């Protein structure tokens, strides 16, 4: 018979290692997406859609595949680009690629998260809850919830035309 004796210190260490392993398998991916400088463009009465903008950095390669918000009936990931001298906006059918370690900027005139079918006007200085869904290279999905400040066009420094 083999008796394995753990000192109190070793038991503590073992518990810590088990906790660390559980964290690495379940929660690590969520920590690998950094979002900063998020904001949503304010809307006026009757306006049914607006854009959400932010900087996203994935430590490991990932994709932004979906979004949703209680303020909007539908959320899509869009890109704007020039097609025959006309600025066109389209949903990205396969999501937005987030290369490892590279900051992808969602900004007016470029990639953005489109909030559509708005339930009420979004007033400047309020906040909008938005949840984004990311998928890693192995297909694992994770969501990240945030509250984005609403800014009017005039006060937004990001606005360039
Ligand atoms: Cu759009």
Tell how far the Cα of 17 is from the centroid of ligand 1, in angstroms: 45
Tell how far the Cα of 89 is from the centroid of ligand 1, in angstroms: 6
pLDDT per residue over 45-103, tens digit each?
A: 999 999 999 999 999 999 999 999 999 999 999 999 888 999 899 999 999 999 999 99
Contact 89, 78 (CB under 8 A): yes
pLDDT per residue over 27-58, tens digit each?
A: 445 568 999 999 999 999 999 999 999 999 99
Count CA within 13 A, CB hemisphere, residue 100: 5
CA–CA distance, 15 with 49 (Å, rounded to integer): 50
Res 155: pLDDT: 47
Tell how far the Cα of 127 is from the centroid of ligand 1, in angstroms: 19
| CATH tag, 27-151 | 2.60.40.1890
Domain boundaries, the chain: 27-151
């Amino acid at each position: 018979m083999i008796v394995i004796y753990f000192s109190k210190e070793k038991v503590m260490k073992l518990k810590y290692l088990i906790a660390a392993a559980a964290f690495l398998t379940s929660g690590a991916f969520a920590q690998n997406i950094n979002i900063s400088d998020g904001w949503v463009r304010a809307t006026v009465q009757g306006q049914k859609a607006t854009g959400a903008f932010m900087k996203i950095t994935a430590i490991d390669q990932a994709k932004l595949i979906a979004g949703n918000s209680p303020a909007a009936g539908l959320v899509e990931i869009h890109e704007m680009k020039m097609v025959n001298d006309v600025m066109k906006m389209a949903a990205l059918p396969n999501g937005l690629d987030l290369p490892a370690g590279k900051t992808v900027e969602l900004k007016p005139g470029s990639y953005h998260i489109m909030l559509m079918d708005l339930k009420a006007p979004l007033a400047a200085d309020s906040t909008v809850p938005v949840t984004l869904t990311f998928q890693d290279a192995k297909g694992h999905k994770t969501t990240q919830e945030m509250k984005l400040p609403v800014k009017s066009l005039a006060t937004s420094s990001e606005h360039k035309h």
